Chains A and B, each alone.
Chain A
Amino acid sequence: MNFLIEFFGAGLAEYNEWDIQWAPDNSEAIIAILGVSVPLALWFFWTSLSRIPSRLKKVLLFSLRVSTFLLLGLLLLKPQLELKKSHSQKNSIAVLLDGSKSMSIKTFPTEEKRIDLVRETLQANKDYFAGLKKDFSVDTFFISDHIEPASDVDRHYQARMPNTDYSKVFADLKKHYEKKPLAGVFLFTDGADLTQSSGDPSSSLVEILAGFKSPVHTFQAGTNESFKDLSIQSLDVPDFGFVHQPIHLTVSLYASSMGNKNIPLVLKEGKNILISKMVEIRKDQASYKVDLQFTPRDLGKRVYSLSVPLFAGESIASNNRRHFQVKVIRDRTRILHLNGRPSWDSRYLREVLVSNPKVDLLSFFILRTLSDDVAAPTSELSLIPFPSNLLFNDYLNSFDLVIFQNFRFESFIDKNLLSNIKSYVQGGGAFLMIGGELSFQGGGYDRTPIEDILPVTMQRGRKIFSSEEFRPVVEKNLQHHPILRLEKKDAFNQKTWQSLPLLNGLNLGLTAKPESHVLVGYKKKGSLVPVLAVAKMGKGRTAVLATDSSWNWNFRRVGEGGSGRYYEKFWNNVIGWMTNAPETRLLRLESDKERYKDGEEVLVRFNVLKEDYTPASGEKVNLTLIKVSGESEKHVLESDQNGDGVFQFLPDQEGFYAVQIELNRKGDRISDKISFGVFGETAEFDRPLVNASLLKNIAGITGGQYVILDGPKDLSDYRFENPEVMVQTKRKTFSLWDNWWSYGLLVGFLMIDWWARRKSGLS
């Protein structure tokens, strides 16, 4: 064999074993065929040699033929020489240490943490493990929902992993020891596997465990004895809700060894308490379901926290509090539309508002005034009293936009209530006055709180309304304003505005306030008379449309061969801007996620637009990061050529953060603010009880033992089988048939056979 090894050029020292491999899968069939056909062929051949008198020649020819057949058979069986190097290997012992968060739970009466019970046992058996290492390879792993090789256990063993899943752990372990002999497993854990519904292991876990030929000894860290805990076990709350509409949530509470007491369940937004509800805890009842309802008042991503009190001696403190986020959106834009008299202008606007599925419209038409003689008793009229007190005292804040269209307030709204509208706008509401003879000075609004909030001032004593036709002109510098965007492309948009029918009916004597923007005007003697002007007032927005003929852009345009599309678009733009739709804001701030995990980096993006709604490049904005502790951090950032910018930071603790961005532009302060929460995973504390039954089952299935760790345990009685295992580390194969000399030999035999037969006078 050494000769062969030398012959094939393999270094002798590298291998300590050899073998011959017969390659074909059906080698037995080949041998059987050869076993029958070769003797038959040889018999025929021997009889064909009867004419040769020389016995020596006969034997020579027959030997040649036999050799040829043997070589052919060898080629068909495709033999290979396999050289191997093997050595004996130690059996392995796996020590699995549960590093999930539930291991930090205290056990009673010692009040020791579960993880500390494991640490004590490991410490007490240091010599045992050292002794084990002489005969076995002892591998230690931290486990949670995967295995992680552990080094320096004393330093690195922590209860910090967010989840426990034994199925994944044992699947990983099986894979790890696929090529290594595993003699046994020590599993130190509390059995609190969230994926196992009860004490019986799931079928997938049973299947994996059944594949283990070595015992798994389970060591239960802690017990459920005197386990004291009050927890918010689960929370059923929608991801989004509507502003001013109640949101319902169902809370599941769990109480163990809490006795009889009444506890408050408190819902907060930031530091503000939204609801507090008393829950009656009874010692003979563990689970409680509580229904809560709250009404969000502000739009955006809102972070709420729900908490129950933390009592002395509770095993887990962190599950007494839960955070959740709800995206608060407008279900529909609520609009109050007051019309001083029925007109085509009010009718077509109402049609647009009613047909917009995002609008919830409440409209009132003043169908008669006190001077009108209806010639019928009230019971024969469909008219209802105008509920001015309800609208302007009680429910004003429930509207996103209030429209006065050609409406004179006297006789319908007490003058004192006008100041409510002013407060409503300054607090974030929107107010639009549409023209007509009963608007502005004609409606008696000059020198009232309404004049204070409108983008225009009113002059008396002049002609206040003109019925003449006029062409409105779009202010070029503000053509990117979202209200004016009837078409996306600038040139087309401009052309569209120019193509709209003329208007007739203009409120005069109005002068734009310095802080307002005149988007559309009427050129008269070189100056621009405001037709459409907008302004921000406090936190709200106001606008005036000083004409009662915008319906011309609908019906008259239809008569000119167009459609009412642009009229509809214009009004939807007005509603969008007035109600502060996101796409109409000059400064926008957003975070990349709604909720961050502990240790995750936060990315905040902002976008700045100029007053004319073009991107503000190179604009400096002040960003304030308000941390959990209340301390704030200020940064000055600059927007890029698209008006965009980013801010990243790594939160240093769990809790609520807020980012505020602002810029001062010509005395106008523009700002936006977002808030978000950074929270660690708490799933481990949802079902924190020790699962003894599961651990018993795991040990039972694998032939291991189940032990409760209530203090340092002596493991010296644990012995493992240690059979010798040879492991092949190197292997090389050489073909004994697929080479030049085997084919050469075959051809050589056949040629000699042919030559000898010719010499002997055979054909």
Chain B
Amino acid sequence: MTLPIIKYRGGDYRPRPEAVRSLMAQLARRTSIEVNREPIEIALTDPNLYHYPFIYLAGNAGFEPFSPKELRILRHYLGFGGFLLIDDNSSKIHSEFDASVRNLISQLFSKIPLQKIPRDHSIYRSFYLINRAAGRVILNPFLEGISIKGRTVLVYSTNDLGGAWSKNKLGHWNYDIVAGSSKQRQGSIRLGVNIVMYSLTLDYKKDMVHLPIILERLRRYHSK
């Protein structure tokens, strides 16, 4: 599992340089997923884009609109099996990055609006049982996404997930959690794990064999 960072024009496409490496380390530690910890950067026009079904687009400032070619490539990529995680690292509500992202998504899927991902979505139960979206700063306690033919192809977090994941090589957290505790950081890591797990297993956790156990655990979890 390699998680490429999407390069784009304008803004900073890598405001949390350690985010992907840190998430990969967490995946390796916590799950059976075989990961490539070294992040790579890739442009949408790169011919090797389809070697990586999961891509990560992050930023903390506005960016230039994608060219029609890039939009076409990204639409095709997502429509035929790819997955995109967008992470707003600005820690601001209605940030310039947020405006650019919403503009990008409206150009990408003019007929499919970005919607809140419901609580019973497999993303919230693909590995950990999660009841709300976390991040370094919780601006919105939810994720938004785009689904095509029952498969969620794009997930957008406004809560600076990358900031919560980032750890330096000495093992210290790079950024403090805003108005929260280490539980919030753990929640962010768990959400990151779940998003990757969802991209690899899709709605596997909705198979009948899992449902009774998951529902029982959720019932207990929520009653706490």
Interfacial residues, chain A to chain B (CB-CB below 8 A) = 340-344, 346-348, 350-351, 354, 361-369, 372-376, 379-384, 437, 554-556, 558-560, 563-564
- With contacts A382-B125, A556-B50 taken as known, whether A341 is within 8 angstroms of B32 at the C-beta atoms is yes
Please state if A343 and B34 are interface contacts (CB–CB under 8 Å).
yes
Hey, which chain B residues are within 8 Å of A373, CB to CB?
29-30
A558 to B214, CA, bound (A): 35
Say how far A568's CB is from chain B's closest CB, in angstroms.
Answer: 12
Check if B180 is an interface residue, CB within 8 A of chain A: no
Not counting A342-B201, A558-B81, a sample of 8 additional A-B residue pairs whose C-beta atoms are within 8 angstroms of each other reads: A341-B33, A363-B207, A369-B32, A374-B127, A380-B129, A384-B210, A555-B81, A559-B49
Pairwise interchain contact B31-A382, C-beta atoms closer than 8 A: no
Q: A382-B214, A564-B81 are in contact. Are A342 and B197 (CB under 8 A)?
A: yes
- Look across to chain A and name the residue whose beta carbon is closest to the beta carbon of B194: A382
Nearest-Cβ distance from residue A361 to partner chain B, whole angstroms: 8
CA distance A373 to B32 in the complex (A): 10
Q: Mark B165-194, 1 if CB is under 8 A from A, else 0.
A: 000000000000000000000100010000
B191 to chain A, nearest CB (A): 13
Chain B residue at minimum C-beta to C-beta distance from A373: B29
Asked if A379 contacts B80 (CB within 8 A), the reply is no
Contacts of B76 in A (CB 8 A): 558
Residue on A with the closest CB to B212?
A384
Q: Which of A354, A361, A367, A558 is within 8 Å of B127, CB to CB?
A: A367
Instruction: Write the nearest CB–CB distance from A357 to chain B, whole angstroms.
Output: 14
Q: CA–CA, A384 to B207, complex, Å? A: 12
CB pair A375–B186 under 8 Å, yes or no, is yes
B217 within 8 A of A: yes
Contact B81 A343 (CB under 8 A): no
* A380-B129, A382-B128, A555-B80 known; A365+B201 contact, CB < 8 A: yes
CA distance A564 to B186 in the complex (A): 38
B75 touches A (CB below 8 Å):
no
Q: Please determine whether A564 and B80 come into contact, CB atoms closer than 8 angstroms.
A: yes
Given known pairs A350-B204, A379-B220, A382-B125, the reply for A367 and B32 (CB within 8 Å) is: yes
- Per the bound structure, the CA–CA distance linking A372 and B199 in Å amounts to 20
Contacts A382-B129, A382-B217, A560-B50 given; does A554 touch B81 at CB 8 Å: yes
Per CB-CB distance, the 5 closest pairs between chain A and chain B, nearest first, are A559-B50, A342-B200, A341-B32, A558-B80, A382-B125
Give chain B interface residues in 44-80, CB to chain A under 8 Å.
47, 49-51, 53, 76-77, 80
Interface of B is mostly: helix
**Cβ-defined partner of B31 (8 Å) among A362, A367, A380, A384:** A367
The answer on a CB contact under 8 Å between A362 and B209 is yes
Q: Give the distance to chain A from B36, nearest Cβ to Cβ, in Å.
A: 11
Q: How far is A368 from B201 in the complex, measured between Cα atoms in Å?
A: 13
Neighbouring A residues of B220 by C-beta, 8 Å:
379
**Min CB gap B35→A, angstroms:** 10
Structural contact, A363 and B32, CB atoms closer than 8 A = no
Cα A383 to Cα B127 with chains together (Å): 7
Cβ A376 vs Cβ B207 within 8 A = no
B203 CB to closest chain A CB, in angstroms?
Answer: 8
Known: A381-B128, A382-B126, A382-B128. A374 touches B33 (CB 8 A): no
Q: Does B202 contact A (CB under 8 A)?
A: yes
Answer whether residue B82 sits at the interface, using C-beta atoms and an 8 A cutoff. yes
A346 to B127 CA separation, bound complex (whole angstroms): 17
Q: Which residues of B contact A558 (CB under 8 A)?
A: 50, 76, 80-81
Taking CB atoms and an 8 Å cut-off, the chain B residues in 115-145 that contact chain A are 125-129
B221 at the interface (CB under 8 A from A): yes
A372 near B30 with CB under 8 A, answer yes
Docked pose: A364 CA to B213 CA in angstroms: 14
- Measured CB to CB, the closest approach of chain B to A14, in angstroms, equals 90
CB atoms of B209 and A384 under 8 A apart: yes
Closest residue of B by beta carbon distance from A385:
B213
| In contact, A363 and B82 (Cβ under 8 angstroms) | no
Expressed in whole angstroms, the Cα–Cα distance for A564 and B129 within the complex equals: 33
Q: Which residue of B lies closest to A344 (CB)?
A: B53
Q: Are B128 and A342 in touch, CB under 8 angstroms?
A: no
Whether the Cβ atoms of A342 and B217 lie closer than 8 Å is: no
A630 → chain B closest CB, angstroms: 46
- Per the bound structure, the CA–CA distance linking A367 and B82 in Å amounts to 21
Q: Is the CB of A350 within 8 A of B81?
A: no
A376 in contact with B50 (CB, 8 Å): no
Chain B residue contacts of A347, Cβ below 8 A: 53, 199-202
Chain A CB within 10 Å, residue with most, of B49, B76, B80, B207 = B80
Supposing A376-B128, A555-B53, A558-B80 touch, asked if A384 and B204 sit within 8 A by C-beta, the answer is: no
Are B221 and A380 touching (Cβ within 8 A)?
Answer: yes
For B93, list chain A residues within 8 Å (CB): none
Residues of B close to A346: CB separation below 8 A: 200
A372 touches B129 (CB 8 A): no
Asked if B205 CB lies within 8 Å of chain A CBs, one says yes
B1 on the A face (CB < 8 A): yes
B93 to chain A, nearest CB (A): 29
Can you name 19 A-B residue pairings with CB atoms under 8 Å?
Answer: A347-B201, A351-B202, A362-B207, A363-B207, A365-B204, A368-B32, A373-B30, A374-B127, A376-B128, A376-B186, A379-B129, A380-B129, A381-B217, A382-B126, A384-B209, A384-B210, A556-B51, A558-B76, A558-B80
Knowing A344-B200, A348-B81, A365-B204 touch, does A382 contact B32 (C-beta < 8 A)? no
Distance A710 CA – B217 CA, assembled complex (angstroms): 81
Q: Is A366's CB under 8 angstroms from B32's CB?
A: yes
The reply to whether A381 and B50 contact each other, CB–CB distance below 8 Å, is no
Closest B residue to A381 using CB positions: B128
Q: In the complex, what distance in Å separates the CA atom of A342 from the CA atom of B53?
A: 13
Rounded to whole angstroms, the CA-CA distance of A313 and B53 in the bound complex is 79
CA gap between A372 and B207 in the complex, in Å:
24
A368 touches B31 (CB 8 A): yes
Is there contact, CB below 8 Å, between B127 and A340? no
Min C-beta distance of B32 to chain A, whole Å: 4
Residues of B within 8 A of A367 (CB): 31-32, 127, 197, 201
A555 to B186 alpha-carbon distance, docked (Å): 33
Contacts of A375 in B (CB 8 A): 29-30, 186
Distance to closest chain A CB from B126 (angstroms): 7
Q: Chain A contacts of B30 at CB under 8 A?
A: 368, 372-375
Query: Which residues of chain A have C-beta atoms less than 8 A from B202's C-beta?
Result: 347, 350-351, 354
